[in-house]
Amino acid sequence: MAVKQISTIAVDIGHSNLKMIQTGTDGRIQKFVVHKMPEGAVDDLEILAEDALVKSLKTAKRTARMPHGKCFLVLSGSDIIIRHFTLPILPEQELYQNILHEISGYLPVDPDKYYVDYKVVGKVEEEGVEMYRVLVTTAHKRNINRYKKALRSAGFSPKVVDTSENAREKLLRYNKQVNGDFKLEGGICLLDFGTKHTRANIYHNGYYYVSNVLKRSGQSIAEAIARVTSKDILTAETIKRNSDFLTSNDENPELKSAVSFEVDSLLYEVSRVFEYYSNRTKQPVHSVYIAGGGSMLPGLKDYIAQHLNVNSYYASALIGNPKVQSEIDERGFGFLLNAYAATFRED
């Protein structure tokens, strides 16, 4: 199916930051804001302080001068369960019943408590029988409904709820539509360096394949800097963003060692995800795109390319429209990746 970009407002609610953008009919970013939420407002997908979240949404909306009306919401978290299944080719209703039966074994509670969505991503042949390959996504209704309620309280009308994995898939495939030189075939990894976790999502031939949540993150690096320097975490964050401890030889050797250890440990975990993908598909991961606050660490992009032996890019390289790409900050766009990707829809 063809992918197109919509003129809309998209909201990405993370653990620490709330991201909001408005795109025009030409796909350009008209308005955007990255708003720091109060600590403890959201943990993973769970809203812990609804009033604080609503206040953050209102503040971000007012800061960016976003209009009232419809919006798209994009979410990520461990409560979102995504699985591939190979199922018989059946009429839609029978196929859906098969999907409910298969996914129920992966859910901690009754499937009736989850929104269950699916799409047929292709066909395979097993023992001479043609089968559907189906991608199934589930999210707890309680969490989704609470996010919708918070958005409505802030003056929005949520029309679409998407996952970051699915939104990025559409962004990849749209890039191929508008840029024939873009290599969609094989393995592409999107590394999202969040506050608490790093998410490694791998796409195979343009479709979501597998993901892993890694415990090390941008915060892990800041904490390592804070330990070595005896500074507070906010000062450590400033040091982290202003110093190249990975590719420069001019920095403090002790700090360089501490930062390199954290990054090397993270990349080792990423390499294990790569091995899993390669063993299953018999193809390598050929490109990595980095996003999230941690992606702004100086030298990280080149360090990844060298140590994982892959092409490494900032997520801004995935913007297919050259006019849009020329107007955004190359590294800073990593904060907005999920929100921007959520503005794409399939026909």
Tell me the per-residue pLDDT of 18-45, one tens digit each, with 9 for 90 and over.
999 999 888 889 999 999 999 889 988 8
* pLDDT at residue number 294: 86
Distance CA 3, CA 162 (A): 15
Tell me the per-residue pLDDT of 249-278, one tens digit each, with 9 for 90 and over.
877 888 889 999 999 999 999 999 999 999
Average the pLDDT over 74-90 and give the result: 91
For the chain, what percent of residues have pLDDT higher than 90? 65
CB 218 within 8 A of CB 249: no
Distance set, CA 227 to CA 221, 222, 224, 258 (Å): 10, 9, 5, 9
Average the pLDDT over 213-242 and give the result: 87
Band of pLDDT at residue 237, cut at 50, 70 and 90: confident
DSSP per-residue letters across 224-291:
HHHHHHT--HHHHHHHHHH--TTT-SSS-HHHHHHHHHHHHHHHHHHHHHHHHHHHHHS--EEEEEEE
**Is the whole model's pTM more than 0.85, yes or no?**
yes
Band of pLDDT at residue 207, cut at 50, 70 and 90: very high
* pLDDT at residue number 196: 81
CB 214 within 8 A of CB 269: yes
* pLDDT at residue number 45: 86
* pLDDT at residue number 109: 81
Does 1 score more than 80 pLDDT? Answer: no
Band of pLDDT at residue 194, cut at 50, 70 and 90: confident
CATH number of the structural domain 180-319: 3.30.420.40
Tell me the per-residue pLDDT of 138-167, one tens digit each, with 9 for 90 and over.
999 999 999 999 999 999 999 999 999 999
Q: Bridge-partner residues for 264, per DSSP?
A: none
Does 86 score more than 80 pLDDT? Answer: yes
Average pLDDT in the chain: 91
Question: For the chain, what are the domain ranges?
Answer: 81-140, 180-319
* pLDDT at residue number 170: 93
Tokens of 78: 């461990």
Give the chain's count of helices (H) and strands (E): 10, 17
Q: Which residue has the tokens 């969490």?
A: 143
> Topology of domain 81-140, per CATH?
Dna Ligase; domain 1 (3.30.1490)
CB-based burial, 125-140: b 16+ in 10 Å, e otherwise: eeeeeebbebbbbbbb
